[in-house]
Structure 1
Amino acid sequence: MTAEWQSTACILCECNCGIVVQVEDRRLARIRGDKNHPASQGYTCNKALRLDHYQNNRARLRTPLRRRADGTFEEIDWDTAIIEIAEGFKHIRDTYGGDKVFYYGGGGQGNHLGGAYSGAFLKALGARYRSNALAQEKTGEAWVDAQLYGGHTRGEFEHAEVSVFVGKNPWMSQSFPRARVVLNEIAKDPARSLIVIDPVLTDTAKMSDFHLRVRPGTDAWCLAALAAVLVQENLCNEAFLAAHVHGVDIVRDALRDVPIGEYAQRCGVDEGLLRAAARRIGTAASVSVFEDLGIQQAPNSTLCSYLNKLLWILTGNFAKQGGQHLHSTFAPLFGTVSGRTPVTGAPIISGLIPSNVVPEEILTDHPDRFRAMIVESSNPAHSLANSSACREAFQALELMVVVDVAMTETARLAHYVLPAASQFEKPEATFFNFEFPHNGFHLRRALFEPLPGTLPEPEIWARLVRALGVIDDADLGPLREAAQRGRQAYAEAFFTAAAANPTVARLVPYVLYETLGPTLPDGLAGAAALWGLAQKTMLTYPDAVRRAGHADGDALFDAILNSPSGVTFTAHNYEDDFALIGHSDRKIALEIPEMLNDLGDLAGAPAQLTTPELPIVLSVGERRAYTANDIFRDPTWRKRDADGALRVSVEDAQALGLADGCRARVTTAAGSAEATIEITETMLPGHAALPNGFGLDYTDTDGHTVVPGVAPNMLTSTRWRDAYAGTPWHKHVPARIEALAAAGVSSRS
């Protein structure tokens, strides 16, 4: 084992905490938090300690694969794979148009660098349409954000007097730096308060000062009542609203009409508790708010995002320490394409097609249907609603290519599977850079050489672009020569070439990889695209970049290359928040007519969407101590909850004749599955939960195929989705639970 501790990062949630590791025989032998990381500062949760189960699992791919006519796969060499795939996509482009190629993915958690290069290949084909996991979660919030202030906000919980979590359990799901440390600090400080809106008695809710334990699916009534208390009890920050917000009067009028007592009753929260929580928000010196999947994948999700944001806007908790902030970005997570999807006419928000319409955009005879698909570092056959419909759709494609480290459920449906190097075998980075006032970026160096037979994604996409023949090597030669003469010469040559040659401008990541990449040190060619992003970041936030210690874009790029634990790339002042508002007048536009109409309709809307046949609200994808995203296929990392239990309330267990550890069948409109029961006081009557990360098959050391737990999307529906963003209602699936007389079927086959 090497005695040296090497810097890298955890890849299991958006925080991507810095870690240091010791390696032995291509294994991550020891792992601990990196104290030099600018955001996590040595913090990490238990999941990071299990990362070798990702790096060295038996499902790793080791050679390109081509599907035979009988559905089995044969190994092929890289040259054959690249030529055949490029020819296949050229056929789709030339026969139907490049816009018939659909792209899903762009990198898993902390695996974003490869996605920068796939974009060049897509542009070379003329592909337009894409989607990824964000379209299952964040597009409703993004739609609201775009209209309110044109950006994304994040709370400064470390300094907030009051922290509000809506459908969010940060003790388990993290999502902001040093989450558990910060939560403990809040809980110990009598001058600070924690407000949780969640039907589940989560770990975070147990620490809270105010737990508004809403009935499942009734968050909109609770949030409307909280905002109404702020207006009706004159708790708004009138000076802030007058100076920085448009459309206040019409929103105020709408909230004056909200019957607070009635809405408290409808959501199941004591009116006195609800009013006390609103008063705590309205009188605090600083408030930070975080919404997450608990409301973003439930009924009225887009309306809930809007109402949630009213809590901090009405009280003026913006552009101050401990408040809500817009922030810099190093690379955009969302695209700019808008409009409607070609077949169903679903809205495209932030460049992303709603995940729930993907099967409908394929399974049709419409002339504009998707005919080919690229999937990169994602597993939509498992992670999208209604897995059966997704599998049927993917099998109907004329060409499907998957780039991944493992033989996933989606890869098995592909015509070609290309094996990628793992996240620890190549330079990698995350574009989840959300913090304020100091924002950080972490380029991770490879800990190992790529597994034999695999390639890093930048090289895969570069080979495919070369095979398309869309750019002449004569165009790249002068840039290669300039790169050898130094960064200044390269910058002049690059910007001249981009201005004169539209193809160079369209394929920037590829051009950088081919010309600047070979000059970068220590196998960092894959980081070449970051040079362009560093220049853009400098142009966008010049004062904040200089304040962080970087004189120009090249200095920032060099700092990124030479900082193994990450670097602070912007340092803002609090007043910068107003300059980050996307509207030309730098004011928040509070009035969104669609949302105000929906607010008015709440009075007559049903608060219950279950039926006598399906009386239980099933929430799928719950985060637990031993669950993670699909990246962990090897189940031996789990020390508890090996079957991914179906959690039910004490009351429901008694009514249904369920016992702890027994087997039961859970049935929804989409399908049914067997699960092990866990009885817990954390669940309300009529509410049950299944965890994320289960239902993945794995071949154990004895050669047996093991499928622990339930694949959640066997039970979800593509039709059960938000009216605006199309985000799925995974947290609100009507279901029926029945005890099984026998012990059930083993997960071993």
Structure 2
Amino acid sequence: MADITKSETGNWHKTACILCENNCGIQILTDPETSGRTFLKIRGDKDHVSTQGYTCNKALRLDHYQNGADRLTSPLRREADGSFTEIDWDTAIREIAQKFAAVRDTHGGDKIFYYGGGGQGNHLGGAYAGPFLRAIGSRYHSSALAQEKAGEAWVDAHFTGGHTHGDFEHAEVSIFFGKNPYQSHGVSRARTVLKEISKDPARSMIVVDPVRTETADLADFHLQVKPGTDAWCVIALIAILIEENLVDEDFIAEHTRDYDELQRHFRAVDIAEYAAICGIDDDLLRRAARRIGAASSVSTYEDLGVQQSLNSTLMSYLNKLVWLLTGNFGKQGGMHPHSSFAPLARYSTEFRYTPVTGSRIALGMVPANVIAEEILTDHPDRFRAMLIESSNPAHSLADSATFREALDALELVVVIDVVLTETAKRADYVLPAASQYEKWESTFFNFHFPKNSFHLREPILEPLPGTLPEPEIYARLLREIGVGKKRTLTALRAAATLGRKPFRYTFAACALLDKETIGLTPYLLYETLGATLPARDRSTSVIWALAEITARSYPKAMKAAGHRDADALFDAVIAGRSGVVFTEESEDDAWNYIPHDDKKFPLLIPELLAMLHELDPASAVQTSDEFPLVLSAGQRRQFTANTIFHDPSWRLKDKNGALRMAPADADALSLAAGDVARVVTNRGAALAEVEIDARMQTGHAALPNGFGLNLTDEATDPALVGVALNELTDAQRRDPIVGTPWHKNVPARIEPVG
């Protein structure tokens, strides 16, 4: 039953925010006069195991997500004239299954491309996509992670074999590379933690960012680099650490390999020259390096400011060298790997390659910037169809015009979403999903150490009539295709009625007898174990499998968190309205995650060292006479969030998404605050309201993320608010290693509008 607290004006429900990876625990007061569908008030959940009542201003506006846009309430089919017709679910499922099967049988299932798998808070439905993708033979997929974290993940695979996260609550020195956690969070209780660091004279904060952000305001050291020169700055920092013997020699000797060769590369660096290139005073760099070297603990965080800029994968390497060379792994206040309730991606040092362009696939995901190139060709291995779930790539990927052309070139496009997005408007079929507060949901962003937590969110509203949760959509498609052997389903259904222990043994036996069982696990659980649950709870059946995997992967840590076995963990997760700690480890346990036999970090990544040597100061300047400014396309601000907000009225400030410019640049163009300017790049142009901001460097401008959505059904008269950034970005401007886009370094010019 839902955890509901009665009040005089409505019911309080425990759930979580869905706007960033922190997924803070919240409570929502619903209005009984609107059948509970209106969110009257939102507050932090003090009982939440990781966020403890913390929330930011954005979560408080979530009624604008739930009730702010015209919801889809019927499957849609595109007709020959381009219009949409409402059809019933049975027809939609039958036709979609038949058409995906036809693509598979004609061209091969690997020509069916999957994009999505959930946003910041809806990963549970994505867990059910796997069996359907296997059934139709799909092999290639991507998501927003491929736009951001691919380079970091590839570097992590070399060092720790998986994701690492900083212990900022205890770190003596916290370093943020291209990260403004005051606005973008990523750190639990971000603003509280940042203020605690700032007020503590024994602790320090270092920010590397071309903008004087709100986090930089709180920092002891703001290394305000010239846009695009982050790599030169961090190379200089590492060179100083080595030159002045500020590294942890004991840690290096005991826990790393190849340091002697690595240090030769950095001792060759001309520190003064690199300081001049990035625009940071040599003395300031040295003082920052000395503070890092003297600290008892250091945590670092890199984010889109460097991951979507020049030299992004190299920057990930440099970031990790900072904390490795100073011995900040596996101790309080340092960097830690962590358990996972469900892995989000595949970490590997080995690459797969895309079928047409031969682009590298890191994190298991096709680089988003090459998807259109994999379609717009006559190559026989081009993608022929797409299934797009809870994502809007026609708006969120670089060079939207070309991506729309690619969608139109496909033989079949199916979109699952809650509203008619820009992507859905190009689809052949659109399937209406229940919202994140109308179904069981969760996030697999479980990054905590030593206590890691998972929050399964119970629905607080009934699904809007005509909509279905993604697990039910996939189950219907799989039934239509006819997967899952009858004997397997019969055996599992019978065992499920006898209890979990017989079910576990029966499932194991089925897996031995039928090799397809494991790949179909979420679907088989939905159809068997799920059938023993109330109808609305069927999708929680996959949690049973995740609990079983956790018990096998982290048995000691699971028991330390208070769960005697997988069944106990499953029960705790189902009942835990404020989240559940599923593993608890000690600092020493961090070493168990290191994938290398000798448990030592191999410090050399030859390809990235080669990039380091080949850095040319001229390459840091991507501007020209035609495009003399650097535009940061996607700045995080107090009233920006991901595009699941389809109601612009949620914003109380910066309602039009202003173009922020340095005073000198505005003066040179005779622009005043509130004027309208035209922003022009090599891919397009857009109008924006000007805001003059002394936090910006001369030659650097910024537009916010989350704007420019087409909020009407009329393609000829879209009601756009703010700039759709990817009408301006270029898909060819991307990292040479993993293809992440350079959204934070877009050459542009700004023109006054009369």
Q: TM-score, normalised by structure 1?
A: 0.97
Aligned position for 1:481: 494
Q: Which amino acid aligns with 1:252?
A: Q
Taking the aligned partners of 2:385 and 2:371, their CA distance within structure 1 comes to: 12
- 1:261 equivalent to 2:272? Answer yes
User: Matches of 1:714 and 1:644 in 2, distance apart?
Assistant: 15
Give, in whole Å, the separation in 2 of the partners of 1:220 and 1:413. Answer: 40
Counterpart selection for 2:84 from 67, 73, 76: 73
Q: 1:255-654 counterparts in 2 under 5 A?
A: 255-335=266-346, 338-520=351-533, 523-602=536-615, 606-654=619-667
The structure-2 alpha-carbon separation of the partners of 1:687 and 1:252, relative to structure 1 and needing over 3 Å to count, comes to same
Quick one: which amino acid aligns to residue 44 of structure 1? T
- Distance in 2 (CA, whole Å) between partners of 1:606 and 1:698 is 39
Alpha carbons of structure 1 residues 336 and 272: separation in structure 2 relative to 1, 3 Å: closer
Range 529-538 or range 612-621, more displaced:
529-538
Specify the SS of the correspondent of 2:527: helix
Map of 2:260 onto structure 1: 249
Distance 1:465 1:402 in 2: 17
Gaps of 5+ in 1: 742-749
Greater CA deviation, 547-556 or 358-367?
547-556
The residue that corresponds to 2:232 in the other structure is 221
* Distance (whole Å) between structure 2 residues aligned to residue 708 and residue 609 of structure 1: 29
Superimposed CA distance per residue, residues 35-69 of structure 1 (whole angstroms, 9 cap, x where no aligned partner): 11111000000000110111112331111000011
Query: Which residue of structure 1 aligns with residue 4 of structure 2?
Result: none
Tell me the equivalent position of 1:10.
17
- Choose which of 239, 252, 265 in structure 1 pairs with 2:250: 239
- When the two chains are superposed, the root-mean-square deviation of aligned CA atoms in Å is 1.3
Determine if contact 2:734/2:741 at 8 Å carries over to the other structure.
yes
Q: 1:706: Cα distance to partner?
A: 2.3
| Partners of 1:149 and 1:587 within 8 A in 2 | no
How many Å separate the matches in 1 of 2:728 and 2:488?
Answer: 52
CA contact (8 A) 1:644 1:676 kept: yes
Q: Distance in 2 between matches of 1:61 and 1:549?
A: 43
- Quote the Cα distance in structure 2 between the aligned partners of 1:604 and 1:673: 31
Determine the C-alpha separation between the residues in 2 that align with 1:513 and 1:574. Answer: 38
Aligned amino acid, residue 289 of structure 2: A
Which digits, 9 at most, give the CA deviation of each residue in 1:371-407, with x for residues without a partner?
0000000000000000000000001000000000010
1:721 Cα deviation (Å)? 0.2
Partners of 1:419 and 1:733 lie apart in 2 by: 35
Identity %: 60
Correspondence for 1:62: 73
Q: Tell me, what secondary structure is at the counterpart of 2:619?
A: coil
Helix, strand or coil: the match of 1:575?
helix
Conserved 8 A contact 2:197-2:204: yes
Amino acid at match of 1:447: I
User: Structure 2: how far apart are the matches of 1:523 and 1:127?
Assistant: 29
Q: Secondary structure at the match of 1:606?
A: helix
Q: Which amino acid aligns with 1:357?
A: V
Alpha-carbon distance in structure 2 between the residues aligned to 1:243 and 1:523: 54
Is 1:83 the counterpart of 2:113? The answer is no
Query: How far apart, CA to CA, are the structure 2 residues paired with 1:582 and 1:2?
Result: 54
2:5 corresponds to: none
CA distance in 2 between partners of 1:69 and 1:335 (Å): 40
For 1:745, the equivalent position in structure 2 comes to none
The SS at the match of 1:708 is coil
Answer yes or no: is the 8 Å Cα contact 1:102–1:128 preserved in 2. yes
**SS of residue paired to 2:300:** strand
Label 1:281 to 1:646 Cα distance change in 2 as closer, same or farther (>3 A): same
Give the letter for the 2:139 counterpart.
R
1:203 equivalent in alignment to 2:210: no
1:319/1:578 contact within 8 Å kept: yes
Q: Which residue of the other structure, out of 125, 129, 132, is the alignment partner of 2:143? A: 132
Q: Quick check: 1:7–1:565 contact (8 Å CA) kept in 2?
A: yes
Between 1:522-531 and 1:360-369, the stretch displaced more is: 522-531
User: How far apart are the structure 1 equivalents of 2:618 and 2:474?
Assistant: 49
**Shift in Å, 1:519:** 2.2
| CA displacement 1:518-549 (0-9 Å, x = unmatched) | 22358321111111111111111111111000
Q: CA deviation at 1:308?
A: 1.1
Structure 2 distance, partners of 1:89, 1:606, is: 45
The secondary structure found in structure 1 opposite 2:702 is strand
In structure 2, do the counterparts of structure 1 residues 247 and 275 end up closer, same or farther at CA, with 3 Å as the change threshold?
Answer: same
Q: Which residue identity does 2:24 align to in structure 1?
A: C
Correspondence 1:78-157 to 2 at 5 A: 78-157=89-168
Deviation at 1:3, TM superposition (A): 3.9
CA contact (8 A) 1:499 1:505 kept: no
Q: Residue in 2 aligned with 1:52?
A: 63
2:175 maps to what in 1? 164
Amino acid at match of 1:339: R
In structure 2, the gaps of 5 or more residues are 1-7
Structure 1 position 119, deviation (Å)? 0.8
Alpha-carbon separation, structure 2, partners of 1:474 and 1:319 = 48
1:705 deviates by 5.1
Deviation at 1:477, TM superposition (A): 1.4
The alignment partner of 2:581 has SS state of: strand
Could you tell me how far apart the structure 2 residues matched to 1:580 and 1:509 are? Answer: 27
CA distance in 2, matches of 1:206, 1:288: 19
- C-alpha distance in 2 between matches for 1:731 and 1:721: 11
CA distance in 1, matches of 2:345, 2:374: 21
What CA distance in whole angstroms lies between the structure 2 residues aligned with 1:9 and 1:374?
Answer: 27
2:157·2:347 contact (CA, 8 Å) conserved in 1? no
Q: Give CA-to-partner distance per residue, 1:679-736, whole Å, 9 cap, x none.
A: 0001000000000000002249xx9952100000000011000000100000000000
Structure 2 residue 51 is the aligned partner of structure 1 residue 40: yes
- Distance (whole Å) between structure 2 residues aligned to residue 410 and residue 247 of structure 1: 48
- Tell me which stretches of 4 or more aligned residues in structure 1 moved more than 4 Å: none
One-letter amino acid of the structure 1 residue matched with residue 462 of structure 2? E
Equivalent residue number for residue 736 of structure 1 = 749
Determine the C-alpha separation between the residues in 1 that align with 2:603 and 2:134. 36
Contact 1:578–1:587, Cα closer than 8 Å, also in 2: no
> Do the aligned partners of 1:59 and 1:699 also contact (CA within 8 Å) in 2?
no
Secondary structure in structure 2 of the residue aligned to 1:665: strand
Moved more, 525-534 or 188-197: 525-534
- Return the alpha-carbon distance in structure 2 between the equivalents of residues 370 and 59 of structure 1: 32
Report how many residues are paired. 739
SS at 1:528 equivalent: helix
Q: Residues of 1 paired with 2:463 and 2:526: CA distance?
A: 18
Tell me which residue corresponds to 1:686.
Answer: 699
Letter of the aligned partner of 2:557 in structure 1? Answer: A
1:316-352 CA-partner distances (Å, limit 9, x unpaired): 0111100011111111111369410000000011210
Indicate how the Cα distance of structure 1 residues 708 and 636 shifts in structure 2: closer, same or farther if over 3 A, else same: same
- TM-fit CA distance, 1:247: 1.8
For the 8 Å contact 1:58–1:699, the answer to whether it is kept is no
